[in-house]
């Protein structure tokens, strides 16, 4: 029996087990959000206009195709309390926003999800490079986003303290769109100087979260190795395979990959947002050619890569109007085709937690569909970048 065959059998079994867990989790979350005792006002009101009961009809993850795609406009504006589940009433509630570069920001309520997401992510970090008790520098977007609090919780969960800087990416986007590039670079320099001050004043900082552009700008000023950094956690759609290699070999000062060699600094790419949580990078393998491959935190969130052409069907992409004729399960539902492995398509996200249910949301990103791996026995998304089908390119500024 060949090595490939012996490896394929356990992986196939793991894929099947992961799918079974996802199906069971989907039933549990749908039951929670559509139960009058525990669900949030938005979904309870939505259910009254469906003409069918999701608690009866949704028996597995694939059944979520019976819903029309989730619309981001539902998250723009208030009242935001319509998203707080009755089963969690009385708990302190956070409101986190998306970037806000495409009009009114989307808002998502959070209670414990951001902590749970980052505690799960914590289990994937190599203790040799992200040592417990070490302090962190958070050099990234702050303000109304969850990222600052999430990195702070990650540091605290691992026994460390998090130092952070002030960074308003909306101001940078505004400068970039207006062509005020000198001011944009001055602001970036201001952010980098804040980070440098922290690194020079606090010698227990070993772990760094930042974005690709800020990482490069920081490394133009200092050597991360000399600053004592041993682990870099980096995210953003600017993280291409070219930057991935540049970051591992040059910015993290590891040089060209040598089989069996331990790096000086571990580089951990991630893909996440307010609506999903945090996707983990497939363990680094030179055979992937520095492709950046992400796997969602299944079963709490799932992303799939779908045919971009199939996302343009205009049918029933709205909340059923009051007084509308009752529909059948699946009428007006999702008709997105999942692309084959190796093909590029648009990223479709489903979030399944007790705090937030979001079925079949079309992200502003595209990626290549990649197969399951041993650590993450479900599909991945490779080389994520802004969706090319938009008429107006997305401006990311210092990200």
The lowest-confidence range among 71-80, 292-301, 339-348 is: 71-80
Domain match, 64 and 152 both: no
Span 266-291, mean pLDDT? Answer: 91
Q: Is residue 146 part of a domain?
A: yes
To the question of pTM greater than 0.85 for the whole model, the response is yes
Chosen domain end from 291, 308, 340: 291
Instruction: Answer whether 280's CB lies under 8 Å from 376's CB.
Output: yes
Does 212 share its domain with 189?
A: yes
Residue 89 lies in a domain: no
Helix locations, 158-289, DSSP H: 169-177, 181-201, 212-219, 241-246
CB 300 within 8 A of CB 398: no
Domain that holds residue 203: 114-291
- Same domain assignment for residues 126 and 203: yes
In terms of C-beta density within 10 A (0-12 exposed, 13-18 middle, 19 or more buried), how is residue 269 classed?
Answer: buried
User: For 294-319, what is each residue's pLDDT tens digit?
Assistant: 999 999 999 999 998 877 644 433 44
Hey, how many other C-beta atoms are within 10 angstroms of the C-beta on 344?
17
Bond preceding residue 394 cis, omega within 30 of 0: no
Does residue 326 belong to any structural domain of this protein?
yes
The CA distance from 326 to 348, in Å, is 27
pLDDT tens for 353-385 read 999 999 999 998 999 999 999 999 999 999 998
Task: Give mean pLDDT, residues 182-209.
Answer: 95
Residue 147 and residue 230 in one domain: yes
Question: Per-residue pLDDT tens for 148-181?
Answer: 899 999 999 999 999 999 888 889 888 998 999 9
In contact, 293 and 315? CB cutoff 8 Å: no
First to last CA, the chain: 48
Read off the pLDDT band of 99 (50, 70, 90).
Answer: low
- Retrieve residue 367's tokens: 């990626």
| Local confidence band at 127 (pLDDT 50, 70, 90 cut-offs) | very high
Same domain, 64 and 184: no
Q: What is the pLDDT of residue 141?
A: 86
Query: Is residue 331 pLDDT above 60, yes or no?
Result: no
Domain contains 100: no
Q: Tell me whether residue 12 is in a domain.
A: yes
Instruction: Give the pLDDT confidence score for residue 60 in this predicted structure.
Output: 97
What rounded mean pLDDT belongs to the chain?
A: 88
**What pLDDT is attached to residue 101?**
59
Q: Does residue 107 form part of some domain?
A: no
């Amino acid at each position: 029996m060949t090595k490939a065959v012996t490896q394929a059998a356990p992986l196939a079994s793991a894929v099947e087990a992961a799918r079974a867990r996802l199906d069971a989790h989907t039933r549990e979350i749908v039951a929670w959000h559509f139960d009058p005792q525990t669900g949030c006002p938005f979904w309870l009101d939505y259910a009254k206009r469906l003409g069918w009961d999701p608690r009866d009809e949704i028996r597995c993850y694939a059944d979520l195709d019976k819903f029309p795609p989730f619309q981001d406009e539902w998250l723009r504006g208030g009242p935001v309390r319509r998203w707080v589940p009755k089963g969690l009433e009385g708990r302190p509630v956070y409101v986190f926003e998306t970037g806000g570069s495409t009009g009114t920001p989307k808002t998502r309520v959070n209670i414990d999800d951001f902590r749970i997401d980052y505690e799960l992510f914590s289990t994937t970090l190599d203790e040799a490079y992200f040592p417990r008790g070490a302090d962190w520098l958070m050099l990234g977007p702050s303000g109304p986003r969850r990222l600052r609090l999430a990195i702070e919780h990650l540091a605290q969960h691992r026994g460390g303290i998090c130092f952070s800087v002030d960074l308003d990416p909306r101001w940078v986007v505004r400068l970039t769109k207006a062509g005020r590039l000198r001011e944009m670079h001055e602001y970036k320099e201001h952010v980098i100087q804040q980070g440098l001050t922290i690194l020079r004043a606090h010698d227990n900082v070993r772990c760094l979260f930042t974005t690709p552009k800020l990482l490069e700008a920081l490394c133009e000023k200092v050597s991360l190795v000399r600053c004592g950094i041993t682990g870099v956690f980096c995210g953003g759609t600017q993280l291409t395979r070219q930057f991935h290699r540049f970051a591992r070999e040059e910015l993290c000062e590891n040089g060209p990959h040598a089989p069996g060699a331990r790096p000086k600094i571990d580089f951990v790419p991630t893909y996440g947002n307010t609506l999903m949580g945090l996707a983990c990078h497939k363990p680094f393998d030179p055979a992937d050619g520095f492709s950046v491959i992400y796997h969602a935190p299944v079963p709490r969130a799932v992303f799939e890569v779908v045919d971009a052409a199939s996302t343009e069907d205009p049918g029933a992409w709205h909340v059923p109007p009051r007084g509308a004729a009752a529909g059948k399960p699946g009428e007006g539902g999702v008709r997105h085709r999942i692309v084959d492995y190796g093909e590029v398509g648009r990223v479709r996200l489903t979030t399944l937690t007790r705090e937030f249910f979001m079925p079949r949301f079309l992200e502003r990103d595209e990626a290549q569909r990649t197969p399951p791996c041993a650590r993450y026995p479900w599909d991945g998304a490779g080389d994520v970048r802004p969706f090319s089908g938009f008429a107006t390119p997305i401006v990311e500024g210092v990200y």
